[in-house]
């Protein structure tokens, strides 16, 4: 039970952190947070759907793949994670107003939050939803860090999004992905020792 509670707290933190990065810093500039984010931006552009709801719908639809390859337990945790993220995005956009916004400062800040949040989720074997499901499957099957496949899958969706909305998005989205995937791999590789802070090891 204690292990489940600990995992739940970490997954909740990961969902909240990545939702904060998207809702406050990336989505206000129409910068896709990833493949699912790119599709959510398009849904908002064409159908005026709320970004939090659009992201939740895209992610939820991808869970069919997660059930087949990742199992029921991972799928349930992923559903929980994407729900926390979507609620975080919704409440951030509805309740927090940033008076001064610069697209490049927000891009860097949002990408750092996004990478930290996704990294926490992937450390727990939980997908952040969307194409993160594919990245986690590839990571498990090929024994590679999840950041690289996530970057290439998202890149294709960014091209599609930029061709429809505006081409400047592709530069901003790819830069955001480069920053966030570097943070993902850093968080993914950090070693935590039970009972001791960070890298301290009892001798």
Residue 67 lies in a domain: yes
The answer to the question of residue 202 being in a domain is: no
71 part of a folded domain: yes
Q: Which domain holds residue 64?
A: 2-189
For residue 200, is it within any domain? no
Q: What is the pTM assigned to this prediction? A: 0.78
Per-residue pLDDT of the chain (203 residues; tens, 9 = 90+): 788 899 999 999 999 999 999 999 999 988 988 788 888 888 988 998 898 999 898 888 877 766 766 677 878 888 899 899 999 999 998 888 887 889 999 999 999 999 999 999 988 888 777 776 777 777 777 877 777 787 788 778 888 888 888 888 888 988 998 999 899 999 988 865 444 333 434 44
Residue 140 domain flag: yes
Kindly state whether residue 201 falls inside one of the protein's structural domains: no
Residue 172 lies in a domain: yes
- Contact (CB, 8 A) for 37 and 102: no
Total domains in the chain come to 1
- Cα–Cα distance measured from residue 43 to residue 125, given in angstroms and rounded to the nearest whole number: 29
């Amino acid at each position: 039970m204690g292990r489940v509670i600990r995992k739940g707290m970490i997954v909740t933190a990961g969902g909240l952190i990545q939702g904060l990065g998207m809702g406050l810093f990336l989505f206000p500039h129409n910068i896709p947070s990833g493949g699912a984010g790119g599709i959510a931006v398009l849904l908002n552009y064409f159908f005026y759907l709320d970004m939090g709801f659009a992201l939740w719908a895209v992610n939820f639809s991808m869970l069919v793949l997660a059930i087949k390859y990742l199992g029921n337990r991972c799928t349930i945790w992923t559903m929980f994670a994407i729900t926390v993220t979507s609620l975080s995005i919704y409440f951030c956009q509805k309740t927090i107003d940033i008076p001064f916004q610069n697209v490049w400062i927000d891009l860097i800040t949002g990408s750092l939050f996004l990478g930290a949040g996704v990294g926490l989720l992937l450390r727990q074997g939980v997908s952040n939803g969307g194409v993160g499901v594919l990245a986690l499957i590839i990571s498990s099957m090929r024994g590679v860090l999840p950041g690289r496949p996530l970057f290439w899958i998202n890149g294709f969706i960014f091209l599609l999004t930029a061709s429809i909305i505006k081409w400047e998005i592709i530069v901003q989205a790819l830069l955001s992905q480069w920053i966030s995937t570097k943070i993902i791999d850093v968080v993914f590789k950090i070693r935590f020792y039970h009972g001791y802070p960070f890298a301290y090891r009892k001798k």
